[in-house]
Amino acid sequence: MRSKKPANHANPTPNAGSADDVAPHGEAAPQSVPANEHDSTGQADQTKRTELPTSHIENERLLEAVCERAVTGIACLSLQGRWLRFNQRLCELLGYSRDELAACAWQDLTHPDDRSTSSAHFRRLLAGELDIYDIDARYVRKDGAPVWVNLAVSLVRRPGGEPDFVIVNVQDINELKRLDLDRAHLLEQERAARAAAETTLGRAVGCEVQSAERAERLHTILETMADGVGVYDQVGRIVQCNRAYRELASRSTSRTSPSHTRCAGR
């Protein structure tokens, strides 16, 4: 690249298009460069001159597309809880039009039973105790029906560290909550059925124990009786007898007849 020559004001020599021309007042004189370098530099400069506004516009379009095409509700809130921006998905989730939702206060949409918890987390966020929080809460739709949502709320700060605004991501978890409730109901039914079965089994075992105890008492009574007692089944086979009966049978040289003893339950 050539060095720039000082301009000759005393005897200027016309040289249109030369790199030695004097630049207009307030502008720097152009530098002469080789053709290929001049082309590449000129293109780079032109790109720089057009890149910033184009990039800004594209960023806005990208932000708009991300916000509006998100599958979850997205909202930006002021530090006072007023709407700065929200997407269509949030309107659909809550059953409001954009104008209707814009007229509602964010905290007023929260179910009364969850409002204190939600407000407490929001205050802690603004106080700097939290940078982000994630809770499950219920919102109230326009038709009055409650809907379970997961709230992921984060605080955006300015370059100096001061709080600027709040981003809220609202995910519909109503179906998940319904499944959880159904599962809890089934588990409760299972626990109740198990408890009933254990009670029935306990009673059966208790009855069996009582039956065994009664049988043991009967056996003890029979064994202590002085008279011989034998119990026969329907075909004449002896199924139970006491000690006295066995002693009588052992002393007998002939087959004992049921008529010679007291027979119980024949």
Residue found under tokens 């720097």: 28
**Which candidate, 153, 151, 115, places its Cα nearest to that of 131?**
153
Could you tell me if 141 and 174 are in contact, meaning their C-beta atoms sit under 8 angstroms apart?
Answer: no
Residues 188 and 263 in one domain: no
How far, in Å, are 96, 175, 214, 238 from residue 208 at the CA level? 67, 49, 10, 24
Please report the pLDDT score of residue 82 as a whole number.
92
Domain match, 261 and 185 both: no
Q: Which of 137, 172, 207 is the last residue of a domain?
A: 172
What's the CATH number where 94 sits? 3.30.450.20
Q: Cβ(146)–Cβ(139) under 8 Å? A: yes
* Cα Rg, the chain, nearest whole Å: 49
Residue 49 within any structural domain of the chain = no
Give Cα 266 distance to the centre of its chain.
Answer: 72
Whether residue 105 is found in the same domain as residue 129: yes
What is the pTM (predicted TM-score) of this model?
Answer: 0.53
Q: Are residues 160 and 178 in the same domain?
A: no
Band (261; pLDDT cuts 50, 70, 90): very low
The token pair that represents 170 in the structure block: 């609202």
123-182 pLDDT tens trace: 999 999 998 999 999 999 999 999 999 999 999 999 999 999 999 999 999 999 899 889
Are residues 216 and 151 part of one domain? Answer: no
Residues 216 and 243 in one domain: no
Structural domain harbouring 234: 226-266
- Number of domains, the chain: 3
Q: Percent of the chain, pLDDT > 90? A: 37
Residue 60 counted as domain residue: no
